[in-house]
Each structure stands twice: as C-alpha cells, then as structure tokens.
Homo-oligomer: A and B are copies of this chain.
Amino acid sequence: MTFSYNHLFAFTENVFRSMGCPEADATLATESLLAADLRGVDSHGVARLIGYVRLWEAGRINPTPRVGVTYETPSTAVVDGDGGLGLVVAPKAMEVAIEKARVAGTGWVSVRNSNHFGIAGYHAMKALAHDMIGLAMTNASPLVAPTHSLDRLLGTNPIAVAIPAAEQPDFVADFATTTAANGKLEILQRKNQPAPTGWIQDKEGNVSTNPNELKDGGALQPLGGETGSHKGYCLGSVVDIFSAVLSGANYGPWVPPFVAFLQPPADPVGQGIGHFFGAMRVDAFRPADEFKAHMDNWISTFRNARAVPGQQVLIPGDPERESSAKRLLDGIPLLDPVVKDLETVGQKFGLTL
C-alpha cells in the first residue's frame, strides 16, 4: 500500500502529540522520522513508529524533555536529551553545533540521555543550508561483534557526512559501520532469504548466511569482510566513544536496546544512548564559492568515470535523493506488516491511518 507523504506526516504527528509531545516537538520528530521513508531507508522510518510508542509505554521515553546544554566551550557542547525522543533531541543538538560553527568556525556536540534518532543523514544535512559540512553519528543497541569476538559489543553505529556543492546536488554519505545495516537483514528475514557472507556470524563466530542468526546468539559483523573487519570495528568504536564516552551516555554492551521487550542493563555506565554531531563552516577554510565550485568539479569527475558495463558511478546521496523526489510525487510504499503496525498504533490513540 502507498501513502502520500502528507498523509503519513499528519498521522505520525498525531501519534507523537497523543504521546504527550508538545506541538513543535511532534512536528520535529515527524520530520526526522519520515526523512527515512522519503530517502528510501524503509527500516528507519514509520516502520519503527510502533517501536517508539512501545518504549514510551514502557516509560523509557520522556515526551516532554528539557533538552539543554550542560557544558560548553567556544567550539564544543554536551547536550543532555533528558530521556526524550532522539528524533527531537538530535535536531536540537545539531542546531547547537551549527550555532557554535557560526562563531568559532566549527561546532561539535556530544549528546547523552537520548534515544534512537532515525537516520543520521537527515541530521548531517541540516548543515548544508548554512554552507557548512555536517556530521552525525550515534551509537545503538549492541548487535555487532568486534573482530574475533563472540560477544555483541557495538551497535551498527552509523556515520553521516553532508558536504555542500554549488550546481551539483550535495554530497551526502550515510552508512552503518557494519557490512549491512540491521534494516537490510530485517528485509531478508521477512523474505526468508539467505544473507551474503560477511554480514553475520553464528554464536561460535563462524560465517553464517542465516538471516535469523542474531536470535540464536549470532552477531552482525563490522564493515570490511573477512580480511578487513578490524577497520569496521575501529569505525564503530570511534562512533561509540565520540557519542557516549565524551557525553556520559551508555556505551558498548550497556547501550539500552531499542525493543521495549528487552530491559536496559541493570548497571548503566551512563544515561540513555549517545550521539555526536559536527558542523564546519566551509568558509572557515576557504571562500564558500570557491569550495563549492571545486565540489562541483569533484562530483562531476567521479560521476563521469568509466564504469563497469551496465553500471554507473554514483555520488553518495544520489539514490536517496532520487527516492525522495519520487516518493514526494508518487507516495511512500509500505509493506503490509508495517501498515498493520501503524493501524495498531492508531487504535491505541483513537487515530485512523
């Protein structure tokens, strides 16, 4: 079934209002969440709305958080999310990073006491309108085994970097630091199809192609495959440390699970989950026009590279931008189980999808 963006927006906004979010926060959360559906990252959009509602029901989301800066220097800040939706906390923290960058050239914000924030790319892209480079990362529920580990100690810990161009569309990289995001695995689970090797390991650390392996003690593997997973492990670790050890959030195996039926660890090492945001004013390095003209040249050089027959060289952000344009026009297709979940959510609050 396909729904218009505006239809899903109104429904989702009403759900967040029904949870007790103030009007402005409900709008902010809806924009953050639906950015995933527009950009084709189906796993992180309204498909997760029921998950947020269940966390709220379990008392693990504060619908009226006082999000605030608890410590700062000219180019840094720590933001406490007061247990709010990451979808609300993240845009506010990114705004702090952008304000810092306006004055100091760059701004870097580490966030504690937050929850899942949707897609990293959406937050990084907030910098673009200000001729800034945006960065966003977050830690997440431990599903990933470091190289040689049997224990799951890291989340899929995504990194997003958004870089402005002039005539060319902006460069927007947004990727999990695992070979495959958990959302891609969920799709294979639904379709009951095997996963490519390099995505998952079983509980003994052996290569597995069973998409349900995580339910049996298996783990996602860090980006890099058989001879390079230590590099994905490094990246995921840096995201964890910047997001949580800098801010005072939970890290590693202490990150609270997204699913409400699993309890957070009883011995937390911090508060909630952590994010990290950065904004760098392009003209803190060279005139913005000059930078963006060279970005245009960079992008067109890469886009016009000779490609493997039948393929083309894409610029990070191309597929998501195309998806956005298409879905704003044609609507957002939702799988039946997602529609059913949304209807369940609607019933809780007396809302019709």
Contact = CB atoms under 8 A, between A and B. Distances in A.
Interface of A: 71, 73-76, 78, 103-106, 108, 110, 133, 146-151, 153, 161, 163, 171, 173, 175-177, 179-180, 196, 198-199, 204-205, 223-228, 230-235, 237-238, 240-242, 245-248, 251-253, 269-270, 280-282, 284-286, 290-291, 294-295, 297-298, 301-302, 305-308, 311-314, 316
Given A176-B231, A252-B302, 17 more contacts: A74-B74, A75-B104, A106-B106, A110-B285, A133-B242, A146-B302, A148-B307, A148-B312, A150-B308, A151-B305, A163-B238, A163-B241, A173-B234, A180-B227, A196-B227, A198-B225, A246-B291
A311 B150 CA distance: 10
Nearest to A285: B246
Contacts of A180: 227-228
B230 A175 contact: yes
16 contacts: A73-B284, A75-B284, A106-B106, A146-B305, A148-B313, A148-B314, A153-B305, A171-B241, A173-B235, A198-B226, A198-B228, A224-B228, A225-B226, A233-B316, A247-B285, A253-B301
B78 A286 contact: yes
Given A227-B179, A282-B246, A294-B251, A74 B305 contact: no
Contacts of A248: 286, 290
Contacts of A205: 307-308
List 9 A-B pairs, minimum CB-CB distance, nearest first.
Answer: A73-B105, A225-B225, A173-B234, A205-B308, A148-B311, A76-B105, A75-B75, A76-B284, A151-B305
